[in-house]
Amino acid sequence: MKNQVQLITYVDRLGGRRDSADLKRLKTLLCDAASPLGGVFGGVHLLPFFHAIDGADAGFDPIDHTQVDPRLGGWEDIQALTDGLDVMADVIVNHMSAESPQFLDYSEKGEASAYAGLFLTLDAVFPQGASERELLAVYRPRPGLPLTYAALKNGERRILWTTFTAAQIDIAVRHPQGRAYLTGILKAFADNGIRMVRLDAVGYAIKKAGASCFMMPETFDFIGEFAAEARALGIEVLVEIHSYFQRQIDIASKVDWVYDFALPPLVLHAFSFRTAAALKRWIAIRPTNALTVLDTHDGIGIIDIGADASDREAHPGLVPPDELDALVDRIHAASQGQSRQATGAAASNLDLYQVNCTFFDAMGRDETAYLLARALQFFLPGVPQVYYVGLLAGHNDMDLLARTQVGRDINRHYYDEAEIARDCERPVVRRLIELIRLRNTHPAFGGRFEVEPGAADELCLRWHQGDAWATLRINFASLAHELSHSADDGDPQRFAFS
């Protein structure tokens, strides 16, 4: 993976049109020298582009995980994109669509189906039956049990395991059919030039009677085996887990890459509470084989800096509970209450551990603070990713939220080409692009990182390699700041945030 900033985007939501080959359009946008975004990024994470992109969960419920949605283009367009960029794709490990041909065949034929072992049932996990205590021990990020009563087309009645929604049927990943299904996805990706994958929802992939069914030792074993299979095909693996911060550290030691999901709420905490203390504690222990993010297609994680729900006394969070609660309220206030309409039980949103809001609005549309947050993200060890809405300093899409009543859609705006062109002329976006280019090209970022000593409200990050150096200083109490770096002419240069 290149040590350069990556973009995270839906293919059809960044300059796309449903009546055209959006992958070709995206390649022009990101690779054409005449485009305002041409050559800005070293890689791109394409959010689900599989058939179909407009299911129950915006492509995260694939009907056919090995087919490009024809409205976007074909595999030849993915291959063309890999000529100029590192391309990452999702392997949706835990589930597939209830509209998939495999599940439809199972529904019609029951146990006589060739895919009968592919889908996880309650009996498969609890062959002796499940007690109330055992069912309550199962961790789920949403209210209720991860089970759906289903009347199959052949008349059979089954209780299916559905971690997320009834439209997303969990896969028996340890069954030979489950293994063959996932191997087929990896091979299709490798054959078409994809060299990085994100394992979506992998923390829930293994189920075990009497256990939490989330990030158990058996889950780590499965991740290790799957990652080894991917590496044998020349593919690096990113594991996506929202969980207690120590668990992220543990996971990072076993995989190629993890997300630094603690960073977004800690950055907001630092600006909101005018202190770098919690952020500096995290920087001292965080894994460095991390993709740093401030925003993604999901919400801003709260669980990632909170106490461990299994034992809050023994395993406290990175910030105190009262400050965590206050932080959520301050995000709602900064967004003029818009995020409150998309978070918690609102707007059919069931991801109770996330706040749904664009990061720019979560920071109260303060352009200087927003650029400082991005600079901080880019200075931490790891590979930065920037979400397409964050790239354009996007606002909450209240119209889309009203139409869909899906909380996360507040941060999943559809940009047409004219809107992209206009936003790229905004000063905050122009400076962010300059900051990305600096991160991608300055030799200091390939050298040694250090945090300089300072007061609790001060943060000073420094990179140096040979004569090249770059330093970021932020005082969160006064918001005084400076980003300076070496230049070819020998005179230090400063980056202008405003």
Smallest Cα–Cα separation from 428: which of 356, 383, 487, 375? Answer: 375
Which are the contacts of 160, defined by CB distance < 8 A and separation ≥ 6? Answer: 119, 120, 121, 122, 147, 148, 149, 150, 169, 170
Tell me the CB-side half-sphere exposure of residue 381, using CA atoms within 13 A: 16
Angle between helix axes 427-441 and 367-379 (nearest 10 degrees) is 10
**8-state DSSP, 14:** B
Given the residues 77, 90, 170, 240, the one annotated as active site: 240
Dist CA 44 CA 423 (whole Å): 20
**In the annotation, is 200 catalytic?**
yes
Dist CA 95 CA 98 (whole Å): 9
Q: What is the layout of strands, in order, in the sheet containing 481-485? A: 448-451, 458-465, 468-475, 481-485, 493-494
CA 80 centroid distance within chain: 24
Q: Are strands 147-151 and 95-97 parallel, antiparallel or unpaired?
A: unpaired
Region for residue 348 given its phi and psi (left: phi exceeds 0; alpha: psi -120 to 50; beta: otherwise): left
Region for residue 336 given its phi and psi (left: phi exceeds 0; alpha: psi -120 to 50; beta: otherwise): left
Dist CA 39 CA 195 (whole Å): 19
User: What token pair was written down for 436?
Assistant: 């990305």
CA 466 centroid distance within chain: 34
Angle between helix axes 22-31 and 75-82 (nearest 10 degrees) is 10
Per-residue three-class SS string for 348-406: HCCCCCEECCCHHHHCCCCHHHHHHHHHHHHHCCCEEEEEHHHHCCCCCCHHHHHHHCC
Given the residues 12, 22, 200, 304, the one annotated as active site: 200
Which are the contacts of 422, defined by CB distance < 8 A and separation ≥ 6? Answer: none
**8-state DSSP, 97:** E
Coil, strand, or helix at residue 138?
coil
**In the annotation, is 322 catalytic?**
no
Q: How many residues does the chain have?
A: 498
Coil, strand, or helix at residue 428?
helix
| Residues with catalytic roles | 200, 240
